[in-house]
Structure 1
Amino acid sequence: MPLTTIEKVKSYLQIPQSNTNEDIFLQDIVDSVQEQIESHCKRKFDIDTYMETHQCKHKCFPKNTPLKEVKSIIRDDNTLESTDYKIRGNYIEFASDLKGYTIGGSVLYASDYVSEITITYTAGYDAIPKDLSMAATKLAVIEYKDSRENRIGIIQEREGDVQYTYADKSKNEVNMPSDIKKVLDKYVQVSL
């Protein structure tokens, strides 16, 4: 599922939808933005089935969220039954680990044993959150405008009849605007 679309980018730029002259270029930008965001967030957003191996103690945090379904969990070569774990939002807690609570409400576990977990699960968004979609659209618009208004890596200046052109090394890595980064940081996969 794309985070943004050509239609959304055109609408933001106020380009008529009937104008298809740059659709191929816009699609390249949309695809590039998707890859940038997935790389930044260290995750995918499509609903898909994933298989991962983790080193876990009492909880397992899959890379992709939101969790839809856990198909199987193998813990130290033993396949767990669905009664052996609970899905707690976007992580899995193992029911077999004995835990207790301190007077202050902290959780204590009987063991700190680290086990190898192989999890097969389905995760992803049914619909892309609006703030994430808007951030992707804005990032695509920035890339489009930059391609039209600036030649990335080039600075030009004019003194009278003389024009100077320089390579701008700082433009090689375009910084993500803080408002977009703030939204994307909410979706970064946290690993423990």
Structure 2
Amino acid sequence: MLTTLPNVKAWLNLTTSDSDELLTRLIVAASRFIESWCNRSFGVQEYTEHRNGTGSDMLMFGAWPVTAVTSITVNGRPIPAAADFDTPGYRFYDLSVVLQGYQFVRGRRNVTLTYTAGYAAIPPDLEQACIETVALRFKERDRIGHQSKSLAGETVTFFIGELSHSARAVLSQYKKVVPI
């Protein structure tokens, strides 16, 4: 999950456990929605990708941030980790892998990348976007289907949307937009 019940309750300024079950369900739903909207998972996990060789010495990983690379093969040939900047092999960064003395030879699904990627701790801005999404769903349950309400000569207009503007701005930075 992208946030915790105590963090959501603190944001909503709730001190009782009356809504804990509902909030927990909303946290699960919002976390899944955000991962779907961003087209990626955020927790740490292992990935194996079969990719097309590009003829270059660099490839972008399909998931990020990358924390470890288990293996890289090109045309069935294992590529070793480079001991330094002069030794042939691979070096990896959060988003990409670079080969020294090798290439990702052009071909169809001739490159296999096995690596670990994801966040051990969810970044605070991402967690806040989830908290705001949960809070939005929680607050709107009393006005489902209402876009505005008039009371004592004043009209209140409600936000209608899947994500708040601030959550959308944050999540756009994490969204996976390039297909692998």
**TM-score band (shorter)?**
0.7 to 0.9
CA deviation vs aligned residue, 1:91-137 (integer Å, no higher than 9, x gap): 11222347xxxxxxxxxxxx983453221111111221111111111
Give the superposition deviation at 1:31.
0.5
User: 1: distance between equivalents of 2:147 and 2:176?
Assistant: 37
Identical columns (%): 25
The equivalent residue for 1:89 is 94
Distance 1:76 1:126, change over 3 A: same
Compared CA separation, residues 156 and 13, structure 1 to 2 (3 A): closer
Is 2:143 the partner of 1:150?
yes
Match of 1:42 among 15, 39, 42: 39
Q: Is the 8 A contact 1:54 1:60 kept in 2?
A: no
Q: Read off the aligned partner of 1:95 and give its amino acid letter.
A: Q
Aligned amino acid, residue 128 of structure 2: M
Q: Which amino acid aligns with 1:49?
A: E
Instruction: State the 1:156 CA deviation.
Output: 9.1
Render the CA deviation track for 1:27-80: whole Å, top value 9, x for unaligned.
110011111111111111111111122224232222221111000112222222
1:6 Cα deviation from its structure 2 partner: 1.2
1:60 and 2:31 matched: no
Question: What is the alpha-carbon root mean square deviation over aligned residues?
Answer: 2.4
Question: What is the distance in 2 between the residues matched to 1:54 and 1:24?
Answer: 43
Counterpart Cα distance in 2 of 1:31 and 1:69: 28
Distance 1:112 1:81 in 2: 16
Q: What SS does the corresponding residue of 1:138 show, helix, strand or coil?
A: helix
CA 96–123 in structure 1, closer or farther in 2 if over 3 Å, else same: same
Match status 1:120 vs 2:114 = yes
Q: In the alignment, is residue 189 of structure 1 matched against residue 176 of structure 2?
A: yes
Number of residue pairs aligned between Structure 1 and Structure 2: 161
**TM-score between the two structures when normalised by the length of structure 2:** 0.78
Task: Give the superposition deviation at 1:139.
Answer: 0.8
| Unaligned residue ranges in structure 2 (runs of 5+) | 83-88, 151-159
Hey, what does 2:3 align to over in structure 1?
4
2:71 partner SS? strand
Q: Is the 8 A contact 1:73 1:120 kept in 2?
A: yes
Q: CA separation of 1:60/1:3 partners in 2, compared to 1, >3 Å: closer, same or farther?
A: same
Could you list the runs of 5+ residues in structure 1 that have no partner in the other structure?
99-110, 159-170
CA, structure 1 residues 190+86, in 2 after alignment: closer, same or farther (shift >3 Å)?
farther
The 1-side partners of 2:22 and 2:64 are apart by 31
TM-score normalised to the size of structure 1? 0.74
* Contact map agreement 1:33 1:140 (CA 8 A) in 2: yes
